[in-house]
Chains A and B, each alone.
Chain A
Amino acid sequence: MNTGDTAFVIISAALVMIMTPGLALFYGGMVRNKNVLGTIMQSFIILGVISIEWVLWGYSMSFGPDHGGLIGGLDWFGLNGVGMEPSASYGTTVPHLAFMIFQCMFAVITPALITGAFAERMKFSSFLIFTLLWATLVYNPLCHWVWGIGGWISKMGAMDFAGGTVVHISSGISALAAAIFIGKRKGFGHTAYIPHNVPMTITGAAILWFGWFGFNAGSALAANGLAANAFVVTHLASAAAALTWILMERMHRGKPTTLGAASGAVAGLVAITPGSGFVGPMSSIIIGGLAGMICYGGILLKARLGYDDSLDVVGVHGVGGTWGALATGLFASKAINPAGFDGLFFGNPGQLWIQFISVAVTMIFAFVMTCIILKAIDMVIGLRVTEEDEEKGLDISMHNETGYNF
């Protein structure tokens, strides 16, 4: 046990926790004022739902003793055997409980990311069931494949330091499935869905940026040089992406926007996540800079393809996560992390293929499973609010309250 590492992982867990309320503000500002609470709630309450799910069976399914590379056993159900002593295999210098709660925060924010896709139209009850099923049937297995000891994607040699596949591609692609399955918001095409509070969104982006230091640097699971490297590359990628995003806006639409700067910053954070423990600072500027441009293209995609991904989860997390996972296969260097592998630019072209497989598998699995879960819920209790409730807004129709009373 190492006290420095323990302190760092516990603080990092708290940093990742604050990302979910940060996301609530990021999303909340982008919807219309009649849906601000409904949208904030869909992130905030996941702190309740998934934290309980995680300690009961989620952690055990994800990190428990391996069964065939596919899933963790329920040996650690209800934190059985997960205590103050370090685990034998994960974060071996920190209490097992510290590693468990750090991972809990990742499990919480991932389904919260998806909520941006079905914002302003999903029933609260259906959303709760969806979240619970998605965490159990998509997140936990995927987490085991990529991060669990014996997980098959991890054994294949795919690198995902802090959650490019597990967190961002999985949520981004599930968001695509949800946006298509649930359908467009009422008035799509002629109603102006103008963000009701951009300063709220910027505040949320700032909190996300701050929390992301725990997300990526904390994933080193030790207070060491690798953590410092992850911190630096995270910051630089976000900085570069904010700049390139507003540059794209300036060229495409004439004016740089604050919403664009915030979106770019988040896109950069997403893209650097899988490589944050494997790439160096100069590589991270390239990864982030290109992320700003690629994700700007990503959000334009929905207008072309005609699905209503309300808050651009696909464009930012799906596209940015995919770019980040592949970029890890390009820019990774054993000089940064001897436990990893070199990427294409460091003489190992095979790594890019492995990264590609991990991306493709994550996409197919998340997309198919999300469709099945949504179909099942739709058949039993329905997914959408009634047209009248949608018109009134989720704040009043789902929660009997309003965000602003002047």
Chain B
Amino acid sequence: MKKVEAIIKSFKLDDVKEGLNSIGVKGLTVSEVKGFGRQRGHKEIYRGAEYQVDFVPKIKIEVVMEAKLVPEAVKVIREKALTGQIGDGKIFIIPVEEVIRIRTGEKGEEAI
């Protein structure tokens, strides 16, 4: 089992979610996050004073899935989150030791 974590542009969330649904992903977790990468921040101007805002708002998606689904999931996320501009985000793939469904106690792939 793997966890796929993707940092994406906020307005791409719906596209990515639908793409993942279509390949059989049954659930995902979304958070609003802030950070910076190559895009760095942006400037904001209030009453003529310019401020550099280092952290750009992004969306983080976390999905746990069977390992064999991962290549397809990555493909879908890349396809749906792509604008071609700097700041499109990143995908991280992390091994998952165990998954337990709280309600029933099921474990492993059953519980995903």
Contact = CB atoms under 8 A, between A and B. Distances in A.
B51 A192 contact: yes
Instruction: Classify chain A: how many residues form its interface, as a range.
Output: 10 to 19
A252 B47 CA distance: 11
A140 interface: no
Contacts of A257: 45-46
A194 interface: yes
Contact of A259 (B47, B50, B52, B53): B47
B44 interface: yes
Interface string A186-209: 000000111100000000000000
Contacts, number: 31
B49 A303 contact: yes
Greatest chain A CB density within 10 A among B46, B51, B52 is at B46
Interface string A27-71: 000100000000000000000000000000000000000000000
A120 interface: no
B49 A263 contact: no
A260 B44 CA distance: 13
Contacts of B49: 303
A194 B51 contact: yes
Contacts of B105: none
Nearest to A260: B47
A257 B53 CA distance: 17
Contacts of A300: 48
B45 A195 contact: no
A108 to B, nearest CB: 26
A18 to B, nearest CB: 24
Contacts of A260: 47
Contacts of A259: 46-47
A391 interface: no
Contacts of B50: 253
Nearest to A201: B46
Contacts of A30: 46
A192 B48 contact: no
Interface string B35-55: 000000000111111111100
A134 B53 CA distance: 38
A375 interface: no
B48 A194 contact: no
B3 to A, nearest CB: 27
A312 B47 contact: yes
A252 B49 CA distance: 11
A389 interface: no
Interface in B17-61: 44-53
From B45, B48, B52, residue with most partner A Cβ within 10 Å: B48
B47 to A, nearest CB: 5
Interface in A323-379: none
A296 to B, nearest CB: 7
A195 B46 contact: yes
B57 to A, nearest CB: 14
B45 A255 contact: yes
Nearest to B52: A192
B6 to A, nearest CB: 25
Nearest to A191: B51
Nearest to A303: B49
A223 interface: no
A252 B48 contact: yes
A106 to B, nearest CB: 26
A296 B44 CA distance: 17
A276 B43 CA distance: 39
A192 B50 CA distance: 9
Given A192-B53, A194-B53, A263 B47 contact: yes
B30 to A, nearest CB: 17
Nearest to A257: B45
A68 B50 CA distance: 51
Interface string A255-271: 10101100100000000
Contacts of B52: 192
A56 to B, nearest CB: 38
Given A192-B53, A194-B53, A249 B46 contact: no
15 contacts: A30-B46, A192-B44, A192-B52, A193-B51, A194-B44, A255-B45, A257-B45, A259-B46, A260-B47, A296-B48, A299-B47, A299-B48, A300-B48, A303-B48, A312-B47
Given A192-B53, A194-B46, A253-B45, 18 more contacts: A192-B44, A194-B44, A194-B51, A194-B53, A249-B48, A252-B48, A253-B48, A253-B50, A255-B45, A257-B46, A259-B46, A259-B47, A260-B47, A263-B47, A296-B48, A299-B48, A300-B48, A303-B48
Interface of B: 44-53
